[in-house]
């Protein structure tokens, strides 16, 4: 599989598959076509994990290198460049795209992630009963949110906990610990945003949008603003271009 992404990816794919209809009305986001790409039979998926216009080209494993080389050659005058997993992680987090097992654990439900619109209200499915349990419907569950450190240069370590209230002060060891609101699941520096940002699971997170919380670190405590979990292209115009 070769993934191509970016505002000129349709132009590139047209060079590789001139017979394939690529108009967005014929080949919309989340659809599939079969055809010939760089002379190789392929399935092309119009999907994106970067938030940009993008395609995945699936071919037989023994033809993968040939298609990759054709992509790089045809895209040379576009300034094409490979991107790695770190870049992919930053881009997907800017769009609020989760990674299961990193931004979730076994307790997180689609409702906690703000994905309840994807859960059928009429169909039966495995797990439906669990979504209606009182504990699952609690409004104070940990929910996916975005965050912006007050210091735009501070990239919080993943796993750091958030606490509420005023700046925590040193307390005697016998005092009760400060209760945690949640924790950082993804944290990066963004060239698009020109600052640090991240995703977190926070108790009653959606109700805290706009609030400030604290991230106690070793030797210092940082103030952090809770925000919506989509930082870039909130309307999704790029991927639907």
* For the chain, domain boundaries: 2-83, 95-227
Q: What is the DSSP secondary structure assignment for residue 177, as one 8-state letter?
A: P
Over residues 8-22, the pLDDT tens digits come to 999 999 999 999 999
Residue 166's pLDDT is what? 57
Retrieve residue 176's tokens: 């009760």
d(CA 160, CA 30): 35
Residue 240 and residue 139: Cα distance in Å, rounded? 33
The Cα–Cα gap between 64 and 55 comes to 15
3-state SS, residue 45? strand
Model pTM score = 0.88
Q: Does domain 95-227 have CATH number 3.40.50.880?
A: no
Q: In this structure, what DSSP letter does residue 30 have? A: T
pLDDT of 169: 54
pLDDT at residue 176, rounded to an integer: 58
Could you list the beta-strand ranges (E) of 133-219.
142-149, 161-162, 182-190, 195-203, 212-217
Q: What is the pLDDT of residues 41-74, one digit of tens each?
A: 999 999 999 999 999 999 999 999 999 999 999 9
Judge if 2-83 and 95-227 fold alike in CATH terms: yes
The answer to whether domain 2-83 has CATH 3.30.1360.120 is yes
Asked if 94 contacts 197 with a C-beta cutoff of 8 angstroms, the reply is: yes
Residue 90, Cβ density class (10 Å: 0-12 exposed, 13-18 middle, ≥19 buried): buried
Angle (nearest 5°) at CA 136 between 234 and 203:
55
Residues present in the chain in total: 241
- Collect all residues with Cβ–Cβ distance below 8 Å to 68 and sequence separation of at least 6: 2
Low-confidence ranges of the chain (pLDDT < 50): 174
Q: What is the pLDDT of residue 174?
A: 47
């Amino acid at each position: 599989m070769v993934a191509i992404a970016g505002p000129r990816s349709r132009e590139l794919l047209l060079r590789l598959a001139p017979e394939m209809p690529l108009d967005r009305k014929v080949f919309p986001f989340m659809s599939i076509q079969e055809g010939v790409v760089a002379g190789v039979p392929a399935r092309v998926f119009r999907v994106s994990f970067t938030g940009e216009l993008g395609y995945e080209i699936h071919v037989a494993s023994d033809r993968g290198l040939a298609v990759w080389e054709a992509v790089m050659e045809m895209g040379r005058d576009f300034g094409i460049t490979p991107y790695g997993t770190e870049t992919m992680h930053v881009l997907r987090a800017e769009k609020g795209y989760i990674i299961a097992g990193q931004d979730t654990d076994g307790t997180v439900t689609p409702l906690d992630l703000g994905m309840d619109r994807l859960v059928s209200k009429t169909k039966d499915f495995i797990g439906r009963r669990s979504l209606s349990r009182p504990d699952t419907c609690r409004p104070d569950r940990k929910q996916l949110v975005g965050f912006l450190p007050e210091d735009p240069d501070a990239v919080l370590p993943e796993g750091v906990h958030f606490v509420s209230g005023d700046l925590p002060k040193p307390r005697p060891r016998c005092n009760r610990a400060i209760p945690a609101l949640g924790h950082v699941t993804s944290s990066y520096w963004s060239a698009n945003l020109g600052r640090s940002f991240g995703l977190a699971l926070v108790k009653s997170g959606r109700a805290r949008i706009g609030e400030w919380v604290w991230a106690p670190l070793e030797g210092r405590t940082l103030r952090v603003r809770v925000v919506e979990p989509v930082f870039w292209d909130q309307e999704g115009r790029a991927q639907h271009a």
